[in-house]
Amino acid sequence: MGNRVIPVTPFDQNCSLVWCDATKKAVVIDPGGDVAIIMAAIAQTGVTVEKIILTHGHLDHVGGSAALAAELNIPVWGPHPADQYWLDGLPRQSQMFGFPFTPALQPNQWLQEGEVIACGERQFEVIHCPGHTPGHVVLFDREAKQAWVGDVLFAGSVGRSDFPGGDHDTLVASIRDKLFPLGDDVSFIPGHGPDSTFGEERRSNPFVADRRFG
């Protein structure tokens, strides 16, 4: 089972190319920009990308979606519909962050809690994890014990919650109640920075570590 992280945009966002070894079918998670670099990685890997999946509506995760979808003639799935206002606001986001103009995006399909997305012999469970944005979703491959968590959780930190629609307590609850129960041995790829495991964050992440008594 393959996973290749492709850092994109000035924010070094971790775009992921994820594929099934048996079928060479693949998905691209969060193509924030630098579409030529993503296309080169796809060509080098020799996989067939079936769809784009978005974790949430922030520009550094979404910005290359329309171009990549057009180039490969594939649909865009996600995030959860509560992030529609972020996708509608892409023109303003691109202005704010000094990105190339990015038009509003209408995904081909929204994602809901509990849905399962198939990619060859791999399966990605959709987990709705609000707090960074209200419509943020996490993708979980139960068999590979791997999760793509966008800006919900980072190695040693958690996502910002000071944007409109963000809420810190909701974010912490998403991590503790929905992600950590998936298992200490689950490794995750965050939207920015290095990989980690849920177990490591339970032990050492100052925002969400298990409370210690005595």
Note the residues at the interface with Zn ion (CB under 5 A): 58, 60, 151, 191
Least spacing, CB of residue 213 vs Zn ion, in Å? 34
Distances (CA, A) of 158 to 74, 92, 113, 149: 31, 25, 21, 10
Of 19 and 154, the one with the shorter C-beta distance to Zn ion is 154
**What does residue 95 show for φ and ψ, rounded to 5 degrees?**
-65, -45
Of 135 and 191, the one with the shorter C-beta distance to Zn ion is 191
Least spacing, CB of residue 24 vs Zn ion, in Å? 28
Of 120 and 190, the one with the shorter C-beta distance to Zn ion is 190
Least spacing, CB of residue 31 vs Zn ion, in Å? 13
Total Cβ atoms within 10 A of residue 203: 11
> Is the separation of the CB atoms in 145 and 185 below 8 Å?
yes
Q: Any residues with CB less than 8 A from the CB of 71 and at least 6 apart, and which?
A: 35, 39
Least spacing, CB of residue 190 vs Zn ion, in Å? 9
Q: Which two tokens stand for residue 124?
A: 């990605």
> Is the separation of the CB atoms in 69 and 105 below 8 Å?
no
Of 20 and 66, the one with the shorter C-beta distance to Zn ion is 66
Of 60 and 201, the one with the shorter C-beta distance to Zn ion is 60
Determine the Cα–Cα distance for residues 206 and 61; give it in Å rounded to an integer.
25
Least spacing, CB of residue 2 vs Zn ion, in Å? 23
